[in-house]
Structure 1
């Protein structure tokens, strides 16, 4: 197990370097100028050139990247070009919002999707019809539209939940939970479909194996067979689906954060891209890459726990 984790972490190093280099080059070559954004359209070219020089933006691109990389290896991601705040502080203040949304939506999808998929696999046509109906709705309804409808019903009409904003857990756990309900449900609508169908297909394949027939012949109850043996043997593709859904949410939170006015990393990434704020974009991309690496590592560890055959790295 330790060897598996070590190999995955070693492979993460070139991935982080490649992601940071590609992001740096693409953002640097994209149209726009951070100095012009900071000074405004009325600034003279001389003022823009002076600010570019003070920010180091007039240096060769390779030199800018090497300077950023050297500072990043020491734990310094630099300062935002627009707000002049440390990038690490900006990310630290917004990361809990995005993680709360992503983790909350993933938990909701995993619980509902696994239950729905298992019922679908064991209840024949009725269960399959329910799952297919949920799948159609989940695919057809855009997240932003679902969010607007939820706000109109539960905030404006019924007045049960806040429409916008985010409350930190340390400030009030109750208000934190209430502020997450609508955005988490909005994000989870599409994910339930993915997990439910993945669970249904995996459970059907597992319940058709010979060892399941042997357990039935030995007198095991159907419930125990399904939830204890069937679900565990079908867990690997389900875990894969959950991991894919979670990493996909990192980009999907952008629209939901805007709909519910939540100060997450998605909104910060959009603002940084518009302002050509290279250090902030680099920091956000690096943060996302680390999260993806950690999630993939957790999935690999779960694989090894569920199936010992994958413990030897290939």
Structure 2
């Protein structure tokens, strides 16, 4: 098991190095443009060169990357070009907002999708059609339209929930819960539609296998077969789908945060990209890659626990 973990961590480290290096090389072509933007239209070549030298952007690109990587490994991701704020704490603050929406949505999605998928596969018939109909509705309704509709109903008309804004959990747990309720519902509906279909398909495949028929001939109750055997075997692919759903929700954060005016990771990345804030973009990239690595590692470990055969890959 330790060798399995070491292999997965090694792959993650190589991925992080490659992604950050590629992004750094791409951003290096815009160093001069960013320096001119900082100085304004009247910037002289000498002034531009001074900004490049002050930021260390006049050094060879690979040397700059090694310097940035060395500092990043020590927790120093530089400072923003425009705000002069440290990048690391700024990204963590924005990432906390985004994760406070995604994590509850993912947990609720996993529970509801598993229940719906197992119920649909085990019952069949009219129950299966109802479950598929629920999933289809989740597919057909665009997330943006759903978000606007929920805001109109619960925030504008009923005034139960705030339409925009975010309250940190540490300040007011009740206000925090109200501020994330609509975004979580939007992410959950789309997630359940996707995951329930995957769980249903895997459960149907498992319930058709020979070992299930053998267990039934031995008089083992259907619920025991489904929950103890079939669901465990179907759990490995479902976990992979769950990790992909997490990344999909993470990508949808930009739209959700813009609709609800949330100071999250997606809007922060979007604004930094528009401004050409190179240290912030690099920090966002590094944190994003690390998050993907952690999620994939957790998924691989869970798959290895559910299915020991997966550890040999």
TM-score greater than 0.5 by the shorter chain: yes
In the other structure, the counterpart of 2:89 is 89
Query: Are 1:250 and 1:288, in contact at CA under 8 Å, matched by a contact in 2?
Result: no
Separation of aligned partners in 2, 1:94 and 1:88: 10
* Alpha-carbon distance, 1:43 to partner: 4.1
Aligned residue in 1 for 2:38 = 38
State the partner residue of 1:190: 190
Aligned match of 2:207 = 207
Change (3 A) 1:274 1:118: same
**Inter-CA distance 142–43: structure 2 relative to 1 (3 Å threshold):** farther
Shift of 1:206: 0.8
Q: How many residues align?
A: 312
TM-score in terms of structure 2 length? 0.92
3-state secondary structure, aligned to 2:197: helix
Query: Is the contact between residue 35 and residue 51 of structure 1 (CA under 8 Å) also seen in structure 2?
Result: yes
**TM-score normalized by the length of structure 1:** 0.92
In the alignment, which residue of structure 2 is the partner of 1:154? Answer: 154
Cα deviation digits, residues 158-215 of structure 1 (max 9, x gap): 1111111111111222222221111111122221121101110111011112222233
Whether the 8 Å contact between 1:257 and 1:263 is mirrored in structure 2 is: yes
Instruction: Tell me which residue corresponds to 1:99.
Output: 99
- 1:255 and 1:29 map into 2 onto residues whose CA distance is 28
Aligned to 1:302: 302
Shift of 1:9: 0.9
- Report the Cα distance in structure 2 between the residues aligned to 1:29 and 1:51, rounded to whole angstroms: 15
Equivalents in 2 of 1:186, 1:28: separation in Å?
38
Q: Give 1:48 shift.
A: 4.7
Query: How far apart, in 1, do the equivalents of 2:85 and 2:217 lie?
Result: 67
User: Offset of 1:98 from its aligned partner?
Assistant: 1.3
Deviations 1:83-128 (A, max 9, x none): 1111111012111111112212211211111111111112223233
Residues 143 and 32 (structure 1), Cα distance of their counterparts in 2 relative to 1, 3 Å cut: farther
Residues 190, 272 of structure 1: CA spacing in aligned structure 2 closer, same or farther, 3 A cutoff? same
For residues 151 and 190 of structure 1, the distance between their equivalents in structure 2, rounded to whole angstroms, comes to 17
State the partner residue of 2:163: 163
CA contact (8 A) 2:31 2:57 kept: no
Gaps of 5+ in 2: none
Q: Using the alignment, how far apart are the partners of 2:173 and 2:222 within structure 1?
A: 40
The aligned counterpart of 2:248 is: 248
TM-superposed deviation, 1:16 = 0.8
1:262 partnered with 2:271: no
Alignment of 1:1-314 (within 5 A): 1-29=1-29, 33-40=33-40, 42-45=41-44, 47-312=47-312, 314=313
Q: Assess if the C-alpha contact under 8 Å between 2:206 and 2:230 holds in 1.
A: yes
